[in-house]
C-alpha cells in the first residue's frame, strides 16, 4: 500500500513541469530583449541575412502585429487575467499530460515575458524581423509554439498524453 506522502510529492513535482519551462522562457526572453536594447538603435534595421532576416528594435504598445495600439490599460488587465488563468490550468492539468504542460509552459512564459516588458517600459520589446513577418521577439515565438502544440494535440493526437 503506497503512502500518500510519496504520491503527493511526485504529483506536485510532475505538475510543476510547466513552471520551470515558463521561467526559462521569461529568462531567455528578457535576456535577449536586454541585449537588443543595449546593442540596437530604435527603428534602425540591421541586416543579418539580407533580405530575409534583420534585427530591428521596436516598441509595440499593442498586441500581436501591433493591433490595439493605445489600449494599454485594458490590454494589461486582459493579459494579467490570461496569465492567472493559464497558471490555474497548469496546476489543474493532469501530470500525465506532458504535452499540455509543455504548451502551457511555453504560452505562460511568453505571456509573462511580454507582461514584464509592459510593466518595465509600458510596451513590448520586439527585435526579430523576417521579410514576410512583422517584427517579434522570443516570447512571441514561445506563445506560437505553445499554441502549435495544442493545435497538433487536439487536431491529430486527441487521445495521446
From 29, 72, 117, 140, the catalytic residue? 140
pLDDT at 26 over 60: yes
pLDDT at 11 over 90: no
More confident residue, 71 or 100: 100
pLDDT at 145 over 50: yes
More confident residue, 50 or 69: 50
- What DSSP state is assigned to residue 66? G
- What is the pLDDT averaged over residues 98-122? 94
Q: How far apart are CA 101 and CA 96, in angstroms?
A: 9
pLDDT at 63 over 80: no
Confidence of residue 99 (pLDDT cuts 50, 70, 90): confident
For position 95, what pLDDT does the model report? 67
Confidence of residue 153 (pLDDT cuts 50, 70, 90): confident
For position 1, what pLDDT does the model report? 45
pLDDT at 3 over 50: no
Task: State yes or no: is 126 an active-site residue.
Answer: yes
Tell me how far CA of residue 158 lies from CA of 8, 99, 105, 154, in angstroms: 27, 11, 19, 5
For position 8, what pLDDT does the model report? 45
Q: How far apart are CA 143 and CA 70, in angstroms?
A: 22
Task: State yes or no: is 140 an active-site residue.
Answer: yes
What does residue 53 show for φ and ψ, rounded to 5 degrees? -130, 135
Tell me how far CA of residue 147 lies from CA of 9, 18, 107, 108, 142, in angstroms: 29, 14, 7, 11, 9
* Cell numbers representing residue 48 in the block: 543579418
For position 5, what pLDDT does the model report? 46
Amino acid at each position: 500500500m503506497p503512502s500518500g506522502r510519496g504520491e503527493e510529492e511526485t504529483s506536485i513535482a510532475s505538475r510543476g513541469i510547466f513552471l520551470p519551462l515558463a521561467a526559462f522562457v521569461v529568462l531567455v526572453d528578457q535576456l535577449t530583449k536586454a541585449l537588443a536594447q543595449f546593442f540596437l538603435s530604435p527603428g534602425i534595421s540591421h541586416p543579418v541575412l539580407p533580405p530575409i532576416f534583420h534585427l530591428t528594435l521596436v516598441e509595440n504598445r499593442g498586441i500581436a502585429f501591433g493591433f490595439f495600439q493605445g489600449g494599454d490599460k485594458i490590454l494589461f488587465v486582459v493579459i494579467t487575467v490570461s496569465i492567472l488563468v493559464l497558471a490555474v490550468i497548469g496546476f489543474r492539468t493532469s501530470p500525465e499530460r506532458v504535452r499540455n504542460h509543455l504548451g502551457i509552459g511555453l504560452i505562460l512564459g511568453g505571456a509573462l515575458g511580454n507582461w514584464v516588458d509592459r510593466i518595465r517600459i509600458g510596451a513590448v520589446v520586439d527585435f526579430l524581423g523576417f521579410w514576410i513577418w512583422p517584427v517579434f521577439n522570443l516570447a512571441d515565438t514561445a506563445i506560437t509554439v505553445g499554441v502549435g502544440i495544442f493545435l497538433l494535440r487536439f487536431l491529430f493526437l486527441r487521445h495521446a498524453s
